[in-house]
Amino acid sequence: MSAHKNQPFACRLRFAAAGLLYGLVAERSLRLQVAVFGLVVIALLVLEPGALWWALVMVASAAVLGAELLNTALERLTDHLHPDVHPQIRIVKDCAAGAVLLSVLGAIGVAIALAVHLLSGR
């Protein structure tokens, strides 16, 4: 059984924080996405769009960041298990990257809907 299983919540939280920190250090795209998220939060604070829009943006942003972290985890795992280039491993990595792309497109869709809402006078 894994050493991470059945640990107290505080320990599991530290594991999760370590994973997030690793992703931030190792992945330029995650750092960029976190920076964009910071700008989005500032824009929301200025525009004051309402609680529902805040919730939609937060969920979309969490989906992007979560997908990027899962993509990083899959890349590291596949590279460790099979360091050589292999067509099946390439498919796994491409699918994970596709998941990130879809989450980003969904977040862009939320941003466009918010912009239309704000420009239409609420």
Q: Give me the count of residues in the chain.
A: 122
Residue 35: half-sphere exposure toward Cβ, Cα within 13 Å: 7
- Which band of pLDDT confidence, cut at 50, 70 and 90, is reported for residue 122? low
Active-site pick, 27, 48, 68, 75:
68
Active site residue 75: no
Q: Is the dihedral of CA 8, 12, 17, 21 positive or negative?
A: positive
List, for residues 5-56, the tens digit of each pLDDT value: 789 999 999 999 999 999 999 999 999 999 999 999 999 999 999 999 999 9
| Residue 58 pLDDT > 80 | yes
- Contacts for 66 with CB less than 8 Å, ≥ 6 apart: 103
Q: How would residue 111 be classed by pLDDT, with cut points 50, 70 and 90?
A: very high
Domain residue extents for the chain: 9-119
3.40.50.300, 3.30.70.240, 3.40.50.1110, 1.10.287.3610: CATH of 9-119:
1.10.287.3610
Instruction: Determine the pLDDT at residue 69.
Output: 97
At residue 5, the pLDDT reads 79
- 96-117 b/e with 16+ CB inside 10 Å = b? bbebbeebbeebeebeeebeee
pLDDT of residue 102: 98
